[in-house]
Amino acid sequence: MRISLVGPTHPYKGGIAQHTTEFALRLAAAGHDVEICSWSAQYPRLLYPGRQRVKRAEVGIAPGTHYPLSWRRPDGWWRLGRRLRGRADAVVVVVATPIQAPAYITVLRGLGAGRAGSPATLALCHNVIPHEPRRADQALMRALLRRAGTALVHSDAEAAATRALAGTPVRVARLPPHFLPPAGVADRPDRRPPAGSATLLFFGLVRPYKGLDVLLRALAAAPPGMRLIVAGEFWSPLGDVERLVQRLGIADRVDLRPGYVAASDMPALFGATDAVVLPYRSATASQQVLLANAYGLPVVATRVGTFPAQIRDGVDGLLAEPGDPASLAAALTALAAPGRLESLRNHVRVPDPDCDWSAYIAAAERALTARPTIVAPSNGRQRSPGAGSARRQGSRARDRA
What is the structure's pLDDT at 34? 96
What is the structure's pLDDT at 380? 40
Asked if pLDDT for residue 93 goes beyond 80, the answer is yes
- Residue 229, CA atoms < 13 Å, CB-side half-sphere: 21
**pLDDT tens, residue by residue, 94-139:** 998 898 999 999 999 999 887 888 899 999 999 888 877 788 999 9
Mean pLDDT of 379-384: 40
- CA–CA dist 393, 373 (Å, integer): 18
Dihedral Cα 160, 163, 166, 169, nearest 10 deg: 130
- CA–CA dist 68, 142 (Å, integer): 25
Which range is least confidently modeled, 97-101, 238-242, 369-373? 369-373
What is the structure's pLDDT at 188? 53
Domains in the chain (CATH in brackets) are: 2-178+355-395 (3.40.50.2000), 185-346 (3.40.50.2000)
Mean pLDDT of 239-246: 96
Asked if pLDDT for residue 26 goes beyond 90, the answer is yes
What is the structure's pLDDT at 388? 39
DSSP state of 130: -
Q: Give the confidence band of 333 by pLDDT, cuts at 50, 70, 90.
A: very high
Alpha helices, DSSP H only, in 148-299?
156-166, 212-221, 238-248, 266-271, 288-294
Which comes out higher in pLDDT, residue 398 or 84? 84
* Closest by Cα among 343, 286, 280 to 315: 343
What is the structure's pLDDT at 371? 55
For 188-207, the DSSP string reads: SPPP-PPTTEEEEEEES-B-
For 6-18, the DSSP string reads: ES--TTB-SHHHH
CB 182 within 8 A of CB 252: no
**pLDDT tens, residue by residue, 216-231:** 999 999 999 999 999 9
Q: Phi/psi zone of residue 296: left (φ > 0), alpha (ψ -120 to 50 degrees), beta? A: left
Q: Phi/psi zone of residue 270: left (φ > 0), alpha (ψ -120 to 50 degrees), beta? A: alpha
Asked if pLDDT for residue 355 goes beyond 50, the answer is yes
* Closest by Cα among 214, 150, 103 to 366: 150
Residue 138 carries which side chain, given as an amino acid letter?
A: Q
Asked if pLDDT for residue 185 goes beyond 80, the answer is no
- CA–CA dist 280, 60 (Å, integer): 30
Cβ-count burial 35-69 (b if 16+ within 10 Å, e if not) = bbbbbeebbeeeeeebebebeeebbeebeebeebb
Which comes out higher in pLDDT, residue 55 or 126? 126
DSSP state of 284: S
Asked if pLDDT for residue 394 goes beyond 70, the answer is no
Which comes out higher in pLDDT, residue 212 or 389? 212
**Is the bond leading into 11 cis (omega within 30 degrees of zero)?**
yes
Largest CA distance in the chain: 69
**pLDDT tens, residue by residue, 31-51:** 999 999 999 988 777 666 666
Please report how the helices 238-248 and 212-221 are oriented relative to each other, as an axis angle in degrees rounded to 10: 20
Q: Give the confidence band of 353 by pLDDT, cuts at 50, 70, 90.
A: confident
Q: Give the confidence band of 194 by pLDDT, cuts at 50, 70, 90.
A: confident
Q: How many residues does the chain have?
A: 401
Alpha-carbon Rg for the chain in angstroms: 22
CB 93 within 8 A of CB 107: yes
Q: Give the confidence band of 61 by pLDDT, cuts at 50, 70, 90.
A: confident
- CA–CA dist 321, 218 (Å, integer): 12
What is the structure's pLDDT at 393? 38
Which comes out higher in pLDDT, residue 154 or 133? 154
Mean pLDDT of 324-328: 98
Q: Give the confidence band of 336 by pLDDT, cuts at 50, 70, 90.
A: very high
